[in-house]
Amino acid sequence: MFNKSKIISLSISLLLILLPCCINGAEIINVVQNGANLTITYNPMTVIFFSNELTYYGLRTDIKNHCKALYGWSPLICNLPVVPSCDGVRLYGSSGIGGINFEMTYNFNCTVVVSNTKSSIVSSSSSSTSRYYTSTTSSYGTSSLNNEDAISQREHPISIYIHWPYCSKICGYCSFNKYLDGPHVDHSRMKQSMVTELSNLIKLYYPSSPSSSSSSIQYKLKSIYFGGGTPSLATIDTLSSIVETVYQYFPTTTTNRKDLEINLELSLGVQALNDEDLKFLGRTHNTKQAIESIETCNSIFDHVSFDMIYARRGQHSVEQWRQELKQAVQLSKGHLSLYNLTFEDGTAFFKRLRKHRSNHIIKPTNDQCSLHYMAAIEETEKVGMNQYEISNFSIPGHHSQHNLNYWRGGDYIGIGPGACSRVSIFNNQQDKPEKVALKTIIHPKTWMDRVDANGHGLFEDETTTLEFKDRINELLLMGLRTKEGVSRSTFRYLSHGLDIEQVLDPIVLSRLQSIGMIVLDENGLRVTTNEAFMILDTLLLDICL
């Protein structure tokens, strides 16, 4: 079990190591050991190390290896006395300039095995030298799928999503549940509500979690994702309390071996690399600040991604987009998320599109969107980045593990206002799980009131057990977004033993295969071409039940 100081320190690192620093050639000024803590002071920063019970791989390799070689200890936190240069990163109540918002993900590289009497760790990459999550996912566009990452009776993946709903500015295109940040936000109450809801939902839907001893199910904790909103506006205490709560219910081990590997993914909301379109999108940062933020994070983190939006306006040409893409792939450290601008009901952009105001938006045509999409595929392929999902591109080893768990049909627990969940209910039939859909109350104040009253903020009338048809359709809607598609093992698991051909219309499948839109083979069902991805919504209308 981890003590509070270690968990708090790990969580503090989420925010503090976002700051710019230079650590090449740093000299050790002082080394102080205080109980379990080892503090090594560098010039001009301080690095705190703990005993090798937990290894955190967010820091630069040279610092980590240098200090581990000297002392056999592993770094957990990097304290930097520098004010952040990007809005959205808050350090003890202060924030900097610009408008880059950060999203943070813990990726866990272990399996917690629950037996009748004790818990133990099964490391999934003990022989690997990679510092990233080790995955055997196939090359993109091939027929090989990684069945070990598919959900099954043998191993049950779980992700946790934390929704922090506040933003320093409301973007006109964003349809997520968000509210303006300010002094009115009750951080203490938000923290307590999130911890309470997280604890109670785990106890309610995972009574046989690794902290108990009544199940032989193997739960694999895949990730904790801090999203929003702008999660980096939450206090350090909030983040640390959430991480500590997760460890209470998913402890790494009860033995002396404590080798949980944590890989931090960082996602930046850049959206554009030209000032005119940043202004159009309502972003508060400029291109120079965006580039500086990316470069700073690249210098500290091993796994950095950023978002870009394409087809922003009718005037935005494909050539302009290509020029931004060329710059983006050079800045990228291995992962990009590229999204077509959408006009969702309830957003300011949707209203501007409908009301024909003076600041009316010229919506790109479908042909323009298609050309922008193909340009994204072509420019990323030139630098060895493969499209592994409709909007996500990466080099091998840099996939978003959290999102992959969604797309592969894994469980996820959503915490916070407006968060959704999908959890499995076994009812003593481990080979025939039911899927339960949950959603929390949207408004933060009402959500906190409900948590105070019930221990969670769930909409009671929106907590439903998915019918067979809905369960299969959701798997298809999510899985066919990826190049790997839907594996047969996952399909059988969620269909309670049925094969794809027994459930889906064979005439439809045969027709779509004959025109080269899909492949159905011994591995599973997947979409085959970029053109098929562009019309995926139409294909799903034919394929789904």
Dihedral of alpha carbons 379, 384, 385, 387, sign: positive
Q: Does the structure show a pLDDT above 60 at 8?
A: no
Beta strands per DSSP E along 2-36: 28-34
| Least confident stretch, 63-67, 298-302, 398-402, 423-427 | 63-67
What average pLDDT does the chain have?
73
The number of residues in the chain equals 545
SS3 213: coil
On whether residue 517 sits in a domain, the answer given is yes
The span from the CA of 491 to the CA of 421, in Å, is 20
For 448-501, the pLDDT digits (tens) are: 999 999 999 999 887 899 999 999 999 999 999 999 999 999 999 999 999 999
Q: Which of 54, 89, 124 is the last residue of a domain?
A: 89
- Host domain of residue 477: 469-545
8 A C-beta contact, residue 41 and residue 28: yes
- Both tokens of 225, joined, read 């994702």
Looking at residue 86, what is its pLDDT? 23
Looking at residue 315, what is its pLDDT? 65
For 137-174, the pLDDT digits (tens) are: 223 233 333 444 455 545 678 899 999 999 999 999 99
Cα-atom radius of gyration of the chain, to the nearest Å?
A: 23
The span from the CA of 239 to the CA of 107, in Å, is 15
Query: Predicted confidence band at 339 (pLDDT cuts at 50, 70, 90)?
Result: very high
8 A C-beta contact, residue 486 and residue 456: no
> What ranges in 174-281 are assigned the alpha helix state H?
187-205, 236-249, 275-281
Task: From 32, 154, 101, 414, select the one nearest 271 (Cα to Cα).
Answer: 101
Q: Which residue has the higher pLDDT, 206 or 324?
A: 324
Q: What is the mean pLDDT of residues 20-42?
A: 44
Residue 44, preceding peptide bond in cis (omega within 30° of 0):
yes
Looking at residue 12, what is its pLDDT? 29
On whether residue 390 sits in a domain, the answer given is no
Looking at residue 240, what is its pLDDT? 85
Q: Does the structure show a pLDDT above 50 at 11?
A: no
8 A C-beta contact, residue 231 and residue 88: no
| Least confident stretch, 65-69, 306-310, 359-363, 419-423 | 65-69
On whether residue 179 sits in a domain, the answer given is no
Q: Which residue has the higher pLDDT, 504 or 10?
A: 504
Q: Which of 70, 89, 108 is the last residue of a domain?
A: 89
The span from the CA of 89 to the CA of 100, in Å, is 8
Q: Does the structure show a pLDDT above 90 at 525?
A: yes
On whether residue 25 sits in a domain, the answer given is yes
Looking at residue 353, what is its pLDDT? 81
The span from the CA of 127 to the CA of 146, in Å, is 18
8 A C-beta contact, residue 474 and residue 502: no
The span from the CA of 229 to the CA of 41, in Å, is 35
Task: From 543, 506, 538, 545, select the one nearest 526 (Cα to Cα).
Answer: 543
Query: Predicted confidence band at 429 (pLDDT cuts at 50, 70, 90)?
Result: low
Query: Residues with Cβ < 8 Å from 136, sequence gap 6 or more?
Result: 146, 148, 149
Task: From 12, 424, 366, 34, select the one nearest 206 (Cα to Cα).
Answer: 424
We report the CATH number of the domain holding residue 498 as 1.10.10
Q: Does the structure show a pLDDT above 50 at 273?
A: yes
Amino acid symbol at 169: K
On whether residue 200 sits in a domain, the answer given is no
Q: Does the structure show a pLDDT above 60 at 94?
A: no
Dihedral of alpha carbons 60, 62, 65, 68, sign: negative
Q: Which of 74, 89, 104 is the last residue of a domain?
A: 89
Domain count for the chain: 2
Residue whose entry in the numeric block shows the structure tokens 């993900």: 105
Amino acid symbol at 370: S
- Both tokens of 422, joined, read 């999908």
On whether residue 366 sits in a domain, the answer given is no
Looking at residue 358, what is its pLDDT? 54
From its phi and psi, is residue 497 left (phi > 0), alpha (psi between -120 and 50) or beta? left
Looking at residue 302, what is its pLDDT? 80
For 215-266, the pLDDT digits (tens) are: 456 677 888 899 989 888 898 889 889 988 988 887 653 322 223 345 677 8
The span from the CA of 51 to the CA of 73, in Å, is 5
Q: What are phi and psi of 97, to 5 degrees?
A: -95, 175
- Full-model pTM: 0.74
